[in-house]
Structure 1
Amino acid sequence: MRLLVALTCFVAGCLAQEPHPCTSPPLLTGGLSVSTQNEKLFFYAGYMYDAIGQRIRLYEMGTMDNQTFTYDVLLHFREHVMYEINDKDKTCKKSPLKADFMPLAIPKDASLLGQFVLGSSSGPGEGLLVNTWAADMPDKAGKYLSTVTEFGCIPVSVLYHTDKFGWTVTSYFNNVIGLSDPSLLNPPSFCLGEDTMIEEEPVDFLSLFQRKP
């Protein structure tokens, strides 16, 4: 009986522990959507994320200023290079990339806003336990809110503000740990040897789309 009581107290104590900042898995594949407060930009993207090699690839379809666009971009942060890839025409644009790599992680100085259940807590499998954190933007220009799963630190959503778009929400879904095809994080052969074609480079995530028609 004493053992049962001790085990019950131990489990209750573990469940009652306050969440701590965490780092998402270094290799992820999935989908994401971005929508802005001013409704000028919306897109859906498949993504591949490699925190070890600091590489990200995005396959996007969306609208900006009521015009539809498709976009395939490969970001190599260590080499400071961005590739805009057109597999259909076998063409590639290569430009310098000055943006810093931002790993999917909750900073150690982030503030916990709360722990919530997405969906329902009425029965097993009906909800997802998540934590929402507030942290400073890298340039200290404001704060952003990041929600991740309690178990695994899988990204769920990020909310932040920009002068161009207002409040912006990035939502993650269909996340899978690992890379189904790591070769897709390397530039295709028709990109190799390309000269730099664009002098101006994106300085943050959303500026990738400010050149869209």
Structure 2
Amino acid sequence: MRLLVVLMCLLAGCLAQKPHPCRSPPLLSGALTVSTQNEKLWAYAQYLYDALGQRVRLRELGTYQNKSFTQDVLLLFREGTMYDIFENNHTCSKRPLKGVFHPMAIPKDASLLGQAILGSSSGPGQGLLVNTWTGDLHGETGKYMSTVTEFGCIPVSTMYHTVQFGWMMTSFFNNVIGISDPGQLNPPDFCLDTEMKADEEPVDFFHLFRNKH
């Protein structure tokens, strides 16, 4: 009986602990949507995320200013290179990728807005405990707000403000820890001979969804 009481006290103490900034698992895959306050941009993407190798792949489709687009991009931060991949005709374009890799994480200087349950707390398995954080964008002018799961630090949503679009919101779903086919984070064979043009304008991940034409 005493052991049960002790265990219940320990459990209550763990649940009462204040949430702390965290880092998501280094290997993730899943899907996401991006939407903007001014409704100029909406996109759906399947993503692969490798924090160990600093690689990200996005296969996206969406609309920008009422025009539809599709894009398959591979971002290799260690090499400073972005590949636009066109599977239909086995061609690629290659652009310089500027900036450093930012892992999916809640920065240590973030402020906790609060903790909530998505869904319901009425029964087991009916809800998801999440933490919402806010802070200033590093290297950018504006604020961000990020929500992650309390257990596992799995991304749920991120909002940040930009001059061009106002608030941009990214929602994550169908997240899976791990990557079933790591080879998809390497350039396809038909991309290996692609040369980078000397006058190509560098792009960074933060502006990737903003520069649709």
TM over 0.5: yes
Map Cα deviations across residues 77-131 of structure 1 (whole Å, 9 max, x no partner).
0100000000111110001010321100011111111010001111111111000
| Structure 2 counterpart of 1:107 | 107
Paired letter, 2:123? G
Question: CA 1:50/1:204 → structure 2, altered by over 3 Å: closer, same or farther?
Answer: closer
- Confirm or deny that 1:132 pairs with 2:132: yes
| Structure 1 counterpart of 2:71 | 71
TM-score (norm 1): 0.95
Confirm or deny: 8 A CA contact 1:94 1:196 kept in the other structure: yes
Confirm or deny: 8 A CA contact 2:106 2:133 kept in the other structure: yes
Structure 1 CA distance for aligned equivalents of residues 66 and 212 of structure 2: 14
Confirm or deny: 8 A CA contact 2:32 2:172 kept in the other structure: yes
Superposed, which structure 2 residues align to 1:1-213 within 5 Å?
1-139=1-139, 141-197=141-197, 199-212=200-213
Paired residue secondary structure (1:205): helix
Structure 2 CA distance for aligned equivalents of residues 18 and 86 of structure 1: 47
Deviant stretches of 4+, over 4 Å: none
Paired residue secondary structure (1:115): strand
Paired letter, 1:128? L
Structure 1 CA distance for aligned equivalents of residues 137 and 15 of structure 2: 31
Map Cα deviations across residues 110-158 of structure 1 (whole Å, 9 max, x no partner).
1111010001111111111000011221115222111000010000000
Paired letter, 2:74? L
Paired residue secondary structure (2:11): helix
Structure 2 CA distance for aligned equivalents of residues 62 and 140 of structure 1: 25
Confirm or deny: 8 A CA contact 2:142 2:162 kept in the other structure: no
Structure 2 CA distance for aligned equivalents of residues 142 and 74 of structure 1: 27
Structure 2 CA distance for aligned equivalents of residues 169 and 10 of structure 1: 37
Count of residues in Structure 1 that have an aligned counterpart in Structure 2:
212
Aligned-pair CA distance for 1:204: 4.0
Confirm or deny: 8 A CA contact 2:83 2:94 kept in the other structure: yes
Q: Can you give the 5+ residue segments of structure 2 that lack an aligned partner in the other structure?
A: none
Question: CA 1:163/1:209 → structure 2, altered by over 3 Å: closer, same or farther?
Answer: closer
RMSD (CA atoms): 1.3
Paired letter, 1:73? V
Structure 1 CA distance for aligned equivalents of residues 210 and 69 of structure 2: 9
TM-score (norm 2): 0.95
Structure 2 CA distance for aligned equivalents of residues 150 and 121 of structure 1: 15
Paired residue secondary structure (1:30): strand
Q: Can you give the 5+ residue segments of structure 1 that lack an aligned partner in the other structure?
A: none
Paired residue secondary structure (2:10): helix
Structure 2 CA distance for aligned equivalents of residues 211 and 169 of structure 1: 16
Confirm or deny: 8 A CA contact 1:202 1:208 kept in the other structure: no
Structure 2 CA distance for aligned equivalents of residues 61 and 138 of structure 1: 28
Aligned residues: percent identity? 64
